Amino acid sequence: MATYAEKSRGDGTLQNGENGIPLLVAEDIIKIYQTGKIETQALRGVSFKVHSREKLFLIGASGSGKTTLVSIVAGITKPTSGKVFWKDLSKDITRSSLEEIIKARRAFAGVVFQDSRLLPHLTVKENIELAGFYAKVPPRIAKKRAEFLLQFLGIWDKRNKKENTLSGGEKKRAAIATTLITNPRILIGDEPTGDLDVVTAESILDLFDRINEELGIALCIVTHSQQVAARADRILEIKDGIIIGRHGKEVILRKLDESRLLEIDRQERIVLPREILQNVKNPTHFTASTKEGKIILNPVFDPNLYKNNIQDVVTCSVCGKLVRDNARFCNSCGSTITNKKGTK
Ligand SMILES: Nc1ncnc2c1ncn2[C@@H]1O[C@H](COP(=O)(O)OP(=O)(O)O)[C@@H](O)[C@H]1O
Ligand SMILES: [Mg+2]
């Protein structure tokens, strides 16, 4: 099946008339943070899609790249390379101007952060209406929608209160209302219940379910909470900047090996779980063959492998392509080659 990139023209504009296209598509996202001389490869080629009305959650250990990934697909952070498509915009947002992104995001995505980001000197209702004003929602529509959201989210009684008199759950509901004032197609959240106690988190999660089911808004949520993950339609697991597999509702975050379905990514990479490698004494090379529809990987422990013809190439740690050991930059993705032989 043709991908967004294949359907798109050279200028990044998507051709019209496509049916059933996903809501959000991320293709080959690479993100390298440069802090002085230190490079951090936060994302090493990540691709995924979110479909209309879907509940997609992203899980992974701290530092695996989750926050970076959602802020890129929300159009807040620019990737080093890769493409992001939002349905209706018909253009790769990584090639769009900030003005275009802000305008398109109003109709497309609501973003929920861990903290509420309400203005403390305004009431809940004023905060919601102000969000509508900034998003250029006509005042009459904003007023009506704010009233609907206050009721839908169960904070009608709190509409004239200011942030400092609200509980954690009420602040969260008010913050969600500010993001829903534009009637977006998707709610993107980075650990949205991470700061709440278990009972309050449960009530906010019920709310996310209702937002999804009754308002038809897709969810793309980062979490490392078991409580949250069990509610997903589909869970993607990210590790060291690569999506390594998917899980279903039965996921137990402490036992990911039991529910993980390994996934080959668009660059035809597959990440073997460390436990499996340890079971066969951590080989660095395999022969690969197929038998009766199965792939057989046979470990090879030959010391000559390290002396002979692989001596002058190394694997680019960002995109995984082979490059000459004496190269300073990767031919494929342009990142600095740091893993030269004889160096650490
Ligand atoms: N602004 C930044 N500058 C430099 N490094 C960063 C920055 N943001 C994140 N990182 C690094 O990128 C990696 C992924 O971080 P992050 O996306 O926050 O992961 P997660 O949300 O899964 O904990 C980490 O190694 C982190 O230290
Ligand atoms: Mg994070």
Q: Is the per-residue pLDDT at 278 higher than 80?
A: yes
| Mean pLDDT on 313-332 | 74
Q: Is the pLDDT of residue 341 over 60?
A: no
Give the model's pLDDT for residue 2.
Answer: 41
Average pLDDT over residues 142-169: 95
Query: Which ligand 1 atom is at minimum distance from the Cα of 60?
Result: 22
| Nearest Cα residue to 70 out of 29, 130, 20, 9 | 29
pLDDT at residue 15 in the model: 38
Mean pLDDT of 278-295: 90
Give Cβ neighbours of residue 19 (< 8 Å, ≥ 6 apart). none
Residue in 29, 35, 67 to alter for ligand 1 test, most ligand atoms within 8 A of Cβ: 67
- Residue 66 Cβ inside 6 Å of ligand 1? The answer reads yes
Residue 5, pLDDT above cutoff 50: no
Tell me the C-alpha distance between 291 and 313, whole Å.
Answer: 30
The whole-number average pLDDT for the span 144-162 is 96
Helical packing angle, 124-134 and 139-152, nearest 10°:
140
User: At which residue do the structure tokens 């018909």 appear?
Assistant: 90
Which pLDDT band holds residue 305 (cuts at 50, 70, 90)?
low
Query: In terms of C-beta density within 10 A (0-12 exposed, 13-18 middle, 19 or more buried), how is residue 34 classed?
Result: exposed
How high does pLDDT run on average in the chain? Answer: 85
- Locate the ligand 1 atom nearest the alpha carbon of residue 69 and give its number: 17
40 lines ligand 1 (CB under 6 A): yes
Instruction: Write out pLDDT tens, residues 266-275.
Output: 888 898 888 8
Average pLDDT over residues 257-261: 89
What per-residue confidence (pLDDT) applies to 320? 73
Mutate which of 39, 40, 57, 78 for ligand 1? The one with the most ligand atoms within 8 Å of its CB, which is 40
Evaluate: CB of 79 within 6 angstroms of ligand 1: no
Ligand (nearest to CA of 63): 1
Pick the residue with more confidence: 179 or 17?
Answer: 179
Whether the CB of 42 sits within 6 Å of ligand 1: yes
What pLDDT does 13 receive? Answer: 38
Nearest CA to ligand 1 atom 12: 42
pLDDT at 326: 72
CA of 242 to the centre of ligand 2 (A): 15
Select the more confidently predicted residue: 314 or 273. Answer: 273
66 CA distance to ligand 2 middle (Å): 5
Mean pLDDT, range 280-289, rounded to an integer: 88
Alpha carbon of 68 to ligand 1 centroid (Å) = 6
Residue 138, pLDDT score: 93
Mean pLDDT over residues 209-228, rounded? 90
231-251 pLDDT, tens digit per residue, is 888 999 999 999 999 998 888
Higher pLDDT, 171 or 254: 171
Give, as one character, the DSSP assignment of residue 120: T
- Residue-level pLDDT at 14: 38
Residues 56 and 26: their CA atoms lie apart, in Å, by 13
Please tell me if the CB atom of residue 67 comes closer than 6 angstroms to any atom of ligand 1.
Answer: yes
pLDDT score for 330:
76
Q: How far is the CA of 33 from the centre of ligand 1 (A)?
A: 8
CA of 73 to the centre of ligand 2 (A): 14
Nearest-CA residue for ligand 1 atom 11 is: 42
pLDDT of residue 257: 85
In the predicted model, is pLDDT for residue 6 greater than 50?
no
CA of 73 to the centre of ligand 1 (A): 15
pLDDT of residue 226: 77
Q: If DSSP codes are grouped into helix, strand and coil, which group holds residue 260?
A: coil
Structural domains of the chain ordered from first start: 22-262 (3.40.50.300)
**Predicted pLDDT at 306:** 59
Does 33 sit in the ligand 1 pocket, CB within 6 Å?
Answer: yes
